[in-house]
Chains A and B, each alone.
Chain A
Amino acid sequence: MMTRLIAALGILALALGLAGTASAQSSSRIYDPSSKTWISFDPEKVERDATARGRVTPERFRRTLVPFRTSEPPGTIIIDTDRKYLFYVLPDFQAIRYGVGVGREGFGWSGEVEVGRKAEWPTWTPPAEMIERDPDSAKYAGGMPGGPDNPLGARALYLYKDGRDSLYRVHGTNEPWSIGHSVSSGCIRMNNEDVIDLYSRTEPGTKVIVLKQGAALYDPTS
């Protein structure tokens, strides 16, 4: 998916005849948890492609107020991981619809969880598997401080199941172009301005329903 996406963006960039303006960085590899392999990642090309699209989230994934008839109470969050939308239920059968990006390794299940805690400019700790394969990430083994380069972005909601951290998060991203796609890392990602908006509406204990139509009920032990 990532390769196809980058390829598609590249074609678009060529078609529009736009040149990239990103800061030059050397090509590198990123860890793909789905295949558990390292894949080529050219940040310069990604920046160039995103620039071609105006570096914005595709229109249909932008924050929108929509009609939403549901029996879930206002305040509930419903995430459709297949269609890449997050709904925040409002009174009177309305919802705020946000676009999300979904990690390819994440959410192979559907079910109910809750917001266990939330954080501003959260610390990011790379998974042990990533540290093992990428010595460069070892410097963050104790946690990378929050900030513009932190992959969790501006805010994070930590999802808990039966009082325990499920290790899944809804978090921000500094790469708005990635919204609406399955990207190579990380849980549920939202634009920073969207996750800040959602964060301001959400308290610990908020019910979160995760939908993955092709998956059975959530079972953290499976």
Chain B
Amino acid sequence: MRRTVRTALAVGILATSALPVRAADVVIGVGDWPSAQATAHLIKAIVETRLGGTAELRSGATGELWEAAGAGEIDILPEVWLPNDRTQVATHVDGSHAVTLLSRGVPARQGLCTTKQAAEAFDIRSVDDLRAKQTADLLDTDSDGTGEIWIGAEGWNSTRIEKIRAKSYGYDKTMTLIEADEPVAMAGIDVAASLGEPIVFYCYEPHHMFALHDLVMLEEPAHDPTTWTIRSPDEDPDWLEASTASTAWAISFIHMAHRTGLEKDAPKIAALLANMDLQPDAIEDMTYALIVERTPPEDFARAWISANADRVDGWIED
């Protein structure tokens, strides 16, 4: 197809550059959390069934995907979370301009959750409770004198920020902050819910766990930007000491991003990304279908496109 010919020509002209030769028109980066997988598969299916193109999925941790996008190896980042990815946006969007961040954002929430049952049975209501010895004892599953809280997977920007929040609120003294892959953490929540045992963990929405379990977010002071100073390890080796975040997360937004130049190389695909206006409940439904109902992602994406044909039509420009 035309795009392939153009790519071949470009590679021939830029023979000394590091541009990879691709089997597909676009490469989509897939983060290691459920909604990123859902949106990536949906974009791939629309590109292939409605735009006559080809798309390849490439999985990786957040940092790896951003590096690859900055190097031009990945064309689409389906879910850029802000403020979480602020540092990478500063480098690859505002700095090198290698990546273009689309302005449309899907609202999202982040914080610490417990089950409604645990909140009521054990009176765990707010982040302030996490500093209390009584709560630490309740959440102490390994009898080491501190409670345990899952704060996210290793490598997530949110995990680093949750460490800062724990330090700022002071519950880093009463709790052990656990980093683990999300499926392992989710299984831990399933077990706690089944046994009626208390549990507190990092949570973000949209996410299928809110449909699977009756969850409540712990109360905390509303976000105040003057209380948030977030440094990354790249900016400051003593980032944890130099950072503070003693109020709730701001309302977060999920943006799409693509390689700068995609709008010229593949204008229809770029237009699709600019027009897609997925809502939080749609994303949550998608992750539930993929993760809980285990619908194969290709089947799910095709079915979703059929069921939402009018919406998809509105995203495609002739």
Contact = CB atoms under 8 A, between A and B. Distances in A.
Given A71-B212, A71-B291, A112-B181, A213 B187 contact: no
16 contacts: A68-B190, A70-B186, A71-B186, A71-B190, A71-B212, A78-B190, A83-B195, A85-B191, A110-B180, A209-B184, A211-B188, A213-B141, A214-B178, A217-B154, A217-B181, A217-B184
A72 B190 contact: yes
Nearest to A82: B141
A211 B294 contact: no
Given A71-B291, A112-B181, A112-B183, A212 B142 contact: yes
A72 B180 contact: no
Contacts of A73: 294
Interface of A: 66-73, 78, 80, 82-83, 85, 87, 95, 97, 110-112, 209, 211-217
A74 to B, nearest CB: 10
B187 A216 contact: no
A206 B119 CA distance: 34
A116 to B, nearest CB: 19
B208 interface: yes
Given A73-B294, A213-B148, A216-B178, A83 B183 contact: no
Contacts of A69: 190, 193-194, 212-213
B208 A211 contact: no
Nearest to A76: B187
Interface in B238-294: 291-292, 294
Contact of A111 (B181, B191, B197): B181
A78 B186 CA distance: 11
Contacts of A214: 141-142, 144, 148, 176, 178
